[in-house]
Amino acid sequence: MFFLFAYISSVVLINYAFSSAPHLDVIWSAWGGLVFILRDMVQTRYGHGALMAMLGALVLSYVTSEPAIALASATAFFVSELIDWLVFTVTQRPLRDRLWLSSALSIPVDTFIFFGMIGALTPVIIGTAMASKFAGVTVVWLVMAWRGRRQSLAG
């Protein structure tokens, strides 16, 4: 339940932050990495229920943020969630690999759609957003790989 609440809250708060202080978009773009990690954790625990969490977060974002930010977020999330769903449904690899593969495919798409739609498609923002998102998912992958090795040595 923690990851579900944290995911919804993060989506709403980051969209509100982009609406309230767009001049700090580099900071908000770095925060985006957390949202991807939380989304993957929600997808892992709730499966397709992650789509309902995303929908709830986007409705709350529409109420609390500028409509243009909420629309950009909804569009980017829809496309990246579709990519994630395809990877999780089609791929039979271990969970940690599916998390990294889905992120490798969806992060660039999500980043370019969102920042393109809000008119903030600059090299610094794109670089910051992608670096934070890839750093986050790589840390999760490394932790999961370490746990897997530890369990195989113990068992």
Sign of CA pseudo-dihedral 46, 47, 49, 52: positive
pLDDT for position 112: 93
**CA nearest neighbour of 65 among 119, 31, 20:** 20
Domain holding 83, by residue range, is 2-154
pLDDT confidence tier of residue 116, bands split at 50, 70 and 90: very high
pLDDT for position 72: 94
Q: Per-residue pLDDT for 68 more than 80?
A: yes
- The 10 Å Cβ neighbour count of residue 67 is 11
pLDDT confidence tier of residue 128, bands split at 50, 70 and 90: confident
Query: Who has greater pLDDT, 24 or 32?
Result: 24
pLDDT confidence tier of residue 141, bands split at 50, 70 and 90: confident
Count of domains in the chain?
A: 1
Our separate counts of H helices and E strands in the chain read 6, 0
pLDDT in tens, 74-83: 999 889 888 8
CA dihedral 153, 134, 109, 122 (to 10 degrees): 180
pTM metric for this prediction:
0.81
